[in-house]
Amino acid sequence: MPRAVGGVLVECDPSIKAIISRINDQHNHDIIIEDIDDEHVLIKKDKHEELKALLKDALRDTVKEAEETSESE
């Protein structure tokens, strides 16, 4: 018997969606319910806050790497 799962629709740029997909892969595919298109993804409602924190950390690391690369040039 199918069960309904509560979800949150996330709209984002394709680059951010790629990071969300990578985070989902690292967490045993436990975050994304449905990959809708290049700019939309449906995530589990109870993972929303966790994903926001993980995404914030990932973006912080990405910005830090970009700054280090530009300083070395």
Residue 70 is predicted with a pLDDT of 66
Which CATH number is 8-65's, of 3.40.30.10, 3.90.180.10, 3.40.50.1820, 3.30.70.1220?
3.30.70.1220
pTM above 0.75, yes or no: yes
Cβ within 8 Å of residue 11, ≥6 positions away: 39, 40
Give the ranges where the chain is alpha helix by DSSP (H). 14-26, 48-72
Domain spans of the chain, in order of start: 8-65
Residue 73 is predicted with a pLDDT of 58
- pLDDT exceeds cutoff 70 at 72: no
Assigned token pair, 27: 């967490």
Instruction: Report strand pairing: 32-37 vs 40-44.
Output: antiparallel
pLDDT digits (tens, 9 = 90+) for 11-69: 999 999 999 999 999 999 999 999 999 999 999 999 999 999 999 999 988 777 666 66
